[in-house]
Amino acid sequence: MSAIEFDGLSKFYGDVCGVADLTLTVEAGEVFGFLGPNGAGKTTAIRTMLGFMQPTDGTARVLDNDVRVESELLAAKERLGYLPGDPAFDDDVTGRRFLDLQASLKGDSRRGELLELFDPPLDRPIGDYSRGNRQMLGLVQTFMHDPDVVVMDEPTSGLDPLKQATFNDFLAEETERGTTVFFSSHVLSEVRTVCDRVGIIRDGRLTELADVEDLLGRSGRIVTVTLAEDVDAAEFDFAGVHDLSVDGPVRFVFTGEYDRLIDRLGEFTVLDLEIEEAPLEDVFMRFYEGDATDETPGQEANGGDVNA
């Protein structure tokens, strides 16, 4: 069963596009990363999905509830956890009072368990909290009523590395239990660690929808080879070679067929060879900047024209 569906969702502010014709499905138990540069439309899509604003066209469904219908939206929110990118708290109340209020609204069957993992100082006013403590308080309130679907914007912002690792382990356990997670993040190492699939949005439109590993595979490998011979660029000018440098070791990004690469290297005396995965930041920048047209021969881009 799908947990979240965007069906042609569009939101315009006058002539300004927030999000246009967004169509995608997030399956139950999936960790889905919703990525894109600032201003791409991520927050607009999330806020519209949560019913904070009405779509201009299309709709979104959460647990098979249409967010345009008030009664269905309320039914969905009972089973939904939400952590905004910058959680708003009453700085004068303590963390304990804040959680007590949240519990009166939606329940807190898992509060104790979560406070063992994320331990904000409950008896201090929230206004005295550090950024990390505010984030941990937000995480507790997001999960404490045991939601079926969780929507989060930059969930590890402000957390120290140990708490980030704790959060990642906790998220893995949650998905094993069947919880669906939809989140936006700029921490690409986190995306690689926890996400099953990603959707990349730019200028309000979905430009890519793919498994993380497939996306990395199609983005090529960095090849660094030291040769006994001097070479010029023309000798490595063949399909799949990008960003070639022959100053010192020969270095390039390769998206082609490895048989072809091995045949070419066989023409030289190879002293050293290193093939490594492209840095995650480089992979996503291609999509953020709109330069993601190169493909491995025989493969088509997953979702390159999803909303064209």
pLDDT of 189 higher than 80: no
Whole-model pTM: value is 0.78
Question: What are the angstrom distances between the C-alpha of 295 and each of 7, 33, 216, 292?
Answer: 28, 22, 11, 8
Least confident of 25-34, 273-282, 287-296: 287-296
Reported as a pLDDT band with limits 50, 70 and 90, residue 67 is very high
Q: State the average pLDDT over residues 243-252.
A: 93
| pLDDT given for residue 290 in this prediction | 63
Q: DSSP label at 157?
A: T
Least confident of 168-172, 255-259, 298-302: 298-302
pLDDT of 281 higher than 80: no
Reported as a pLDDT band with limits 50, 70 and 90, residue 169 is very high
Mean pLDDT of the chain: 89
Q: State the average pLDDT over residues 168-178.
A: 94
**All domains of the chain, ordered by start, with CATH?**
2-215 (3.40.50.300), 220-277 (3.30.70)
Burial 112-149 (b: 16+ CB within 10 A, else e): eebbeebebbbeeebeebeebbbbbbbbbbbbbbbbbb
